[in-house]
Amino acid sequence: MKRRIAGSGIAALAALALGQPTCLPFGNHTEAARPAASTTLAPAPDPFATFEANASASVDPAPAGHGAPVVIQHATVMTATGRKFASGFVAMEDGLITSIGEGDGPPPKPGSTVVVDGRGKFVTPGIIDPHSHIGVYPVPDTAAHDDGNEMTDPVTAGVRAEHSFWPQDPAIERAVAGGVTTIAVLPGSGNLIGGRGIVMHLTPQRGARAMRFPGAPELLKMACGENPKRVYKEQKRSPTTRMGSLRTLREAFLRAQKYARDLAEWTRKSQEAASAPPKKQDDKSGNDPPKPPDRDLSLETLALVMRGDILVQWHCYQADDMLAALQVADEFGFKVRAFHHALEAYKIRDVLSRKRVAIATWDDWWGFKMEAYDGIPENLALLTEAGVRASLHSDSPIAIQFLNQAAGKALAAGRAAGVELDEEDALRWLTANPAWLLGIDEQVGTLEVGKRADVVVWSDNPLSTYARAEMVYVDGQLVFDRAHVGAPWSDFELGVRAMPPKGKTK
């Protein structure tokens, strides 16, 4: 995903990223687009890149600064790469992991390095939850903040969860207290295509964009099965059936194909016009630049999906629904990055493995609706055995607080079923695999030199019921310290808050 492109202006769209090399994926808040100084350049060879760069500019970027160097020593270090250090260290500086291994690590810089005594503790990468609605369905549950599902049309590919996200959601800090450092915030599943999701780094900020995970790809939330047809049946509109859903979905992608063709055609003609010999000042004859097609945010998103620039995260429970979804993906030539929930994924794990589709699911949720009736606790284990990249997700501001226990439970269920798994496999369900699923695996998900210092110090083996996240680092900065819980992150909780628990617990 690390292709670099040159963003340049489009004559018809005045304010553009000019001469600013923009890193794809588009959302890098440290390389925000700037309004163009001039609009006279040739149209971009890739108008989509310009659209995306403009849409991800930030008026309030995250502040820089990574604090003092830190070394955590004498801890059990679980790296999620398969390597484990029984009495190891993790050193971090300038937001990155600088060294890791057995022993004490590099000598601390006097007066500068913070030394953390990790005796009896466990250290892991920060947990990544690839499916959350924190901020878009915040707590308290109020009509005023019911912002997760734009249920006015079954295809709302143009909406962005980022634009609903309430950064004051008290659930954010509680997730961090559960050892979570990164989440994907997705629109709900009321629509077939719910809109764009966003990868968030969990630090207290004033606006959603400052929380964007730097360089993370764009996500698209899609949904199949019961939810969309229930929502639109209640509204007495299509789709009310699975076949209606598939029809609506395919028609949306057909429109997006046409939109992409029209845009490509316009780009070609514009470039031809621009490269034509310059007209004399007073020449009023034809040869005006061609008119661009009207922009359509929904079709733009789908066109980018078909180009492979947006990662599809598809809510789908039943095996047959997932197979039907994969047929649509093949028909329109796009990849499904992951099915979410996917309680019947174990039934088609051979297909998922062959097609390299990842899974994000719970440890043992089941039965709350028909399409969840065949969920089994061995799902994650069977998928892992079959070579499918499987992740845990929460989909819940409660469950996100103990995803580590979910990994412990799924490991136990798998082992009881005779699947050969180790603790590193279970840790990867929480870190490395969701990092890949969100396209940020080069930056986080394992404890390795050069990766972002998203690190959790646990009181106990993180797969235990009793493990508490004691210290949580994001980009090398201590954002949660159970022994010194300060003022709440959320303005909402000023004066009322009593969480997370202070002081020592047994």
Other beta carbons less than 10 A from residue 143's beta carbon? 5
Helix or strand or coil: residue 17?
Answer: coil
Work out whether 322 is an interface residue with another protein (CB under 8 A): no
Work out whether 378 is an interface residue with another protein (CB under 8 A): yes
Contact with another protein (CB under 8 A): which of 152, 241, 287, 465? 465
Work out whether 417 is an interface residue with another protein (CB under 8 A): yes
235 CB-near residues (< 8 Å, 6+ apart): 151
Written as one letter, the residue type at 494 is L
How is 250-296 classified by DSSP, letter by letter? Answer: HHHHHHHHHHHHHHHHHHHHHHHHHHSPPPPTT--SS-PPPPPPPP-
Written as one letter, the residue type at 407 is A
Contact with another protein (CB under 8 A): which of 132, 318, 405, 431? 405
Stretch that binds another protein, among 13-21, 39-47, 62-70, 137-145 (CB under 8 A): 137-145
Work out whether 487 is an interface residue with another protein (CB under 8 A): no
Rg of the chain over all Cα atoms, to the nearest angstrom: 24
Contact with another protein (CB under 8 A): which of 26, 339, 346, 429? 346
Written as one letter, the residue type at 258 is K
CA triple 453-198-446, angle to 5 deg: 25
C-alpha 194/C-alpha 163 separation (Å) is 13
Q: How far is the CB of 366 from another protein (least distance, A)?
A: 6
Comparison of 306 and 417: residue with beta carbon closer to another protein = 417
Helix or strand or coil: residue 232?
Answer: helix
Contact with another protein (CB under 8 A): which of 398, 449, 484, 491? 398
C-alpha 444/C-alpha 463 separation (Å) is 20
Q: Given the structure tokens 């699923």, which residue do they identify? A: 437
Stretch that binds another protein, among 98-106, 310-318, 431-439, 497-505 (CB under 8 A): 497-505
Per-residue string for binding with another protein, 206-235, x by CB under 8 A? --------------------x---------
Q: How far is the CB of 141 from another protein (least distance, A)?
A: 6
Work out whether 395 is an interface residue with another protein (CB under 8 A): no
User: CA distances (Å), 163 to each of 92, 149, 315, in order?
Assistant: 33, 12, 21
C-alpha 188/C-alpha 149 separation (Å) is 5
Contact with another protein (CB under 8 A): which of 209, 221, 451, 468? 468
Handedness of CA 470, 475, 479, 483 (dihedral sign): positive
Work out whether 174 is an interface residue with another protein (CB under 8 A): yes
Q: How far is the CB of 170 from another protein (least distance, A)?
A: 6
Q: How far is the CB of 149 from another protein (least distance, A)?
A: 16
Q: How far is the CB of 369 from another protein (least distance, A)?
A: 4
Contact with another protein (CB under 8 A): which of 29, 337, 347, 452? 347
**Site for another protein, rule CB under 8 A:** 139-141, 170-171, 174, 226, 346-347, 349-350, 364-370, 373-378, 382, 397-398, 401-402, 405, 408-409, 411-412, 416-417, 463-468, 493, 496-501, 505-506
